[in-house]
Amino acid sequence: MPFNDIRKIGVFTSGGDAPGMNACIRAVVRSGIHYGLEIWGIQRGYNGLIDGDMKPLESRSVGNIMQKGGTFLHSARSEAFRTKEGRKKAFEQLQKKGIDALVAIGGDGTFRGANVFSKEYDIPIVGCPGTIDNDLFGTDITIGYDTAINTAMRAIDNIKDTAQAHNRLFFVEVMGRDAGFIALRSGIATGAEAVLIPEQKTNIDVLVSTLERLHELKNSSSIVVVAEGDDEGGAFKIAEKVNEKFKDHEIRVSILGHIQRGGSPTCMDRVLASKIGLEAVKALISGKRNVMIGQICNETAYTPFEKTTKHHAAINPALLEMIEILV
């Protein structure tokens, strides 16, 4: 489809929600209208695409939403869209509504689906990286990550207060099934004694040795930040293993869970999401397709969906070194 044939763009959010998604939707809608396009909001991600649950959005439709967490279009993971039958229904719904192109806001699962769908039906699609995990290849930072690490930091600070009051060892689990970016940054920011992440093998004996050394130095408390995808298990399992060898210390576990997904997005996330949403519309107008809009060194970057889903952002070794040196 030639880019100058695009008249209607559909926008949706898919997968796990991330603070800043609303700001991105707002930017897509208002920039699309600015360029003379009609923008349709698709509810519940790929499920809404299959069901035809979509409607045109006007500028006032997205007023007063950018400061809110979550996504006003709602989100979902769709098993039906993984099938050819489901994607065929989705394409038929787009044809009924006359939608020419799509903006998909989500993570790698969202982009895998978009890549297959675009190739099967020759639909221009661009993606906006919306995930708190910050693990997408092709951008320095994803929408929602800054808010998530600040939420985790504040929660760990609060836990540290009570840990010091009772001279306790706390294991705090943060989100990160496949990536340790939240754990690493929030751990550094809160002065954690150790950070356990999926990208680095955990040695329980070394961890215990570190905690014993700190205990001998009369530390009033200790915090260990654990990414949920750590190879030794989640915070509860690791706490049990440590407790077997470190019996003289009172141990508690705290799972931060979904509080990291919610809340009002930070200034950084709002500005990033707005920039990426605008660039997504401009990319479609200029003829780009099957790419994720990212930001690398403060410049807009376009990364093919194949690369965003086959590669993952790498942990900065300097951050790992900081944990070791600053304990």
| Overall number of domains in the chain | 2
In a domain, 167, yes or no: yes
Check whether residue 17 and residue 133 sit in a common domain: yes
Check whether residue 269 and residue 255 sit in a common domain: no
In a domain, 117, yes or no: yes
Check whether residue 151 and residue 254 sit in a common domain: yes
Counting as low any pLDDT under 70, the low residues of the chain are 1-4, 218-221, 248, 327
Check whether residue 184 and residue 59 sit in a common domain: no
Check whether residue 20 and residue 158 sit in a common domain: no
The reported pLDDT for the residue numbered 313 is 77
> Which of 161-166's residues contact partners 24+ apart within 8 Å by CB, and which partners?
163/221, 163/222, 163/223, 163/252, 164/220, 164/221, 166/221, 166/250
The reported pLDDT for the residue numbered 231 is 92
Check whether residue 255 and residue 153 sit in a common domain: yes
The reported pLDDT for the residue numbered 2 is 41
Which residues are known catalytic residues? 133
Per-residue b or e along 46-85, where b marks 16 or more CB atoms closer than 10 Å to that residue's CB:
bbbbbeebbeebeeebbeebbebbbbebbbbbbeebeeee
The reported pLDDT for the residue numbered 48 is 95
Check whether residue 31 and residue 111 sit in a common domain: yes
In a domain, 223, yes or no: yes
Check whether residue 290 and residue 252 sit in a common domain: no
CATH code for the domain in which residue 205 is found: 3.40.50.460
The reported pLDDT for the residue numbered 1 is 41
The reported pLDDT for the residue numbered 244 is 87
The reported pLDDT for the residue numbered 237 is 95
The reported pLDDT for the residue numbered 98 is 96
Predicted TM-score of the model (pTM): 0.93
Check whether residue 12 and residue 132 sit in a common domain: yes
In a domain, 325, yes or no: no
Check whether residue 45 and residue 131 sit in a common domain: yes
For the chain, first and last CA: distance in Å?
Answer: 56
Domain of 10, in residue numbers: 3-144+265-310
CATH code for the domain in which residue 47 is found: 3.40.50.450
In a domain, 290, yes or no: yes
